[in-house]
Amino acid sequence: MAENDSQISDRIQQLDSSDGEVRQSARHKLVQTGSAAVPALITALDNSSETMRWEAAKALGEIGDPAAVSPLIEILPDDDSVRFVAASALISMSKDSVPQLLSALIKDTARIRDGACFVLHHLASDDENLRGPLTPVVEALMSLDSSLRVPVEAEKALSQFS
């Protein structure tokens, strides 16, 4: 069943319900809607409600649309629960997220350091093709001089994805 804009909008609002079953049902229907729901879910990432941001990030990760990668990177500085869901979504979209995450680290390491470290460490641990390029970036992220080392290591890693 294709959802129209009004139905998508209604489902987005339900993501902030105090009733967990309503939220879960709305998220499930938005995921079923797929890419048509992605723009509204991306907008929901900017909502003041942590619950709404968490649900939107979770749905975007389940949909797996590459258009969501950059907005998910943008919310890595969010509260812990939202950061974890955004990071998990980026992990699930590794092929699309790694180059954009490395580019973001080159520009602004401090703001996304914790979330980026979680994502890249997980990907390097689980995928031996990513281990070589990502391990030096993870080590740099965990170092005391990360603000100096990360952009250099991220640039080196990014060159291996071009």
pLDDT band at 3 (very low <50, low <70, confident <90, very high): low
Entry pTM: 0.93
Task: State pLDDT tens for residues 51-93.
Answer: 999 999 999 999 999 999 999 999 999 988 999 999 999 999 9
Residues 6+ apart with CB under 8 A from 78: 50, 53, 86
Domains located in the chain, CATH noted: 1-65 (1.25.10.10), 93-162 (no CATH)
**Cβ–Cβ < 8 Å for 92, 52:** no
Q: Are 58 and 31 in contact (CB under 8 A)?
A: no
DSSP letter at 161 equals T
Q: Are 87 and 119 in contact (CB under 8 A)?
A: yes
Contact 131, 93 (CB under 8 A): no
